[in-house]
């Protein structure tokens, strides 16, 4: 289950659209919601006019970046489903960490009461919750743990600054040890 983004039909225009989303995710992740649109266009290798053709307003870009992150979470769940239960949940939560960093950067400018936001939440839970339930059924996750508990735990970790990704991964693994049965 994913949320449709209105991507251009032509292959070159689609590449530009995707490059803009990736650049926007990076710029917003680094600089927050005030990240420069000119910098986004430059990183994507396109002109500012191409950015505005695809995303007429800054809000359109925020929403598209958010939807793309949710869609990538759904794709990560599909890819992880073939792994053993605990590995699948860990793989998905690794991707969730990247999503949480982007979300934190733009959450204040998103309309949390919008249909788009509610739809994204449904897609995220539909993607990730079955992985956790499967891990619980396999005895890999404590039975008193809810999916919402795990998301809040991991989201809380993303608010901290880390020296590098290796440290972030170590801390994530330490936290996930807390949801394992004793």
Q: What is the pLDDT of residues 25-75, one digit of tens each?
A: 999 988 888 999 999 999 999 999 999 999 999 999 999 999 998 999 999
Taking the domain 58-177, which CATH number applies?
A: 1.10.357.10
Q: What is the DSSP string of 22-89?
A: HHHHHHHHHHGGG--HHHHHHHHTS-HHHHHHH-SSHHHHHHHHHHHHHHHHHHHHHHHTTS-HHHHH
- What Å distances lie between residue 118 and 111, 113, 122, 148, CA to CA? 10, 7, 6, 15
50-76: burial string, b at 16+ Cβ within 10 Å, e else: bbeebbeeeeebbbbbbbbbbbbbbeb
Q: State the architecture of 9-56 in CATH terms.
A: Orthogonal Bundle (1.10)
pTM here is 0.86
Q: What is the pLDDT of residues 102-147, one digit of tens each?
A: 888 788 888 888 888 889 999 999 999 999 999 999 999 999 999 9
**Range(s) of the chain covered by CATH 1.10.10.60:** 9-56
Confidence of residue 4 (pLDDT cuts 50, 70, 90): low
Name the maximum alpha-carbon separation found in the chain.
57
């Amino acid at each position: 289950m994913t949320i449709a983004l209105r991507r251009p039909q032509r292959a070159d225009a689609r590449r530009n659209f995707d490059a803009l989303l990736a650049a926007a995710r990076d710029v917003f992740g680094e600089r927050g919601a005030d990240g420069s649109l000119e910098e986004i266009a430059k990183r994507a290798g396109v002109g500012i006019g191409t950015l505005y053709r695809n995303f007429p307003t800054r809000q359109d870009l925020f929403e598209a970046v958010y939807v793309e992150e949710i869609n990538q979470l759904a794709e990560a769940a599909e890819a992880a489903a073939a792994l053993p239960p605990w590995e699948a949940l860990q793989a998905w939560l690794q991707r969730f960490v990247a999503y949480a960093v982007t979300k934190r950067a733009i959450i204040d400018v998103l309309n949390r009461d919008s249909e788009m936001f509610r739809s994204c939440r449904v897609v995220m839970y539909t993607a990730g919750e079955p992985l956790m339930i499967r891990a619980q059924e396999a005895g890999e996750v404590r039975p008193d743990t809810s999916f919402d508990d795990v998301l809040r735990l991991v989201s809380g970790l993303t608010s901290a600054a880390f020296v590098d990704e290796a440290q972030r991964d170590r801390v994530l693994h330490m936290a996930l040890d807390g949801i394992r049965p004793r």
